[in-house]
Structure 1
């Protein structure tokens, strides 16, 4: 898997959003959002980092806003990012179902 560097502020924001969402519903979050899911989400963000910087720079993380922005620019995504988008959607749907989607 191609891994791109993720900026420290974005990594901290993503981790903070996941932690904050987990704290809102602790028992459900523990059961539904595993460390593996968090790690996979971070890996997917790394793959799409350049696309985010180029196409969605002003979009605030949380609530699926970055994913929605990337979808709006689907025809402009790098091949690597386009390939991981279906899995990113699955992770988003899992977070929504578990009620732990960052706001």
Structure 2
């Protein structure tokens, strides 16, 4: 089961699952692509948008960027904290996709 903190940004859960299931050499390479700063920023985005996710997108199945897309669809209804965090969420998702740890 995916810990609740990873439900908001499915690529974070994908990163965790991928690291857990890969060889030591592949893990080392992947961990150099996903920095502690990126993890910290992902957690900050999740915290900023948690209430909006619960209110607007809780019925969305995590994965493939669907939650981020849902929040972007409801941009006019987001709290200012979440609205300010969304560009960083998109940048993190784009970075994960470029690193090959999230679908493009």
TM-score band, normalised by shorter chain? 0.7 to 0.9
1:94 and 1:9 mapped to 2: Cα distance? 22
Aligned to 1:43: 44
Give the total of aligned pairs.
95
Q: Gaps (5+ residues) in structure 1?
A: 1-7
CA contact (8 A) 2:14 2:101 kept: no
- Matched position secondary structure for 1:26: helix
Give the TM-score of the pair, scaled to structure 2: 0.77
Q: 1:16 to 1:86 in 2, by over 3 A?
A: closer
CA contact (8 A) 1:18 1:38 kept: no
Q: Residue 48 of structure 1: CA displacement?
A: 0.1
Q: Gaps (5+ residues) in structure 2?
A: none
Taking CA–CA contacts closer than 8 Å with sequence separation of 6 or more, which of the two structures ends up with the larger relative contact order? 1
Q: Residue 37 of structure 1: CA displacement?
A: 0.7
Q: Residue 49 of structure 1: CA displacement?
A: 0.3
Q: 1:12 to 1:88 in 2, by over 3 A?
A: closer
Aligned to 2:4: 10
Q: 1:89 to 1:16 in 2, by over 3 A?
A: closer
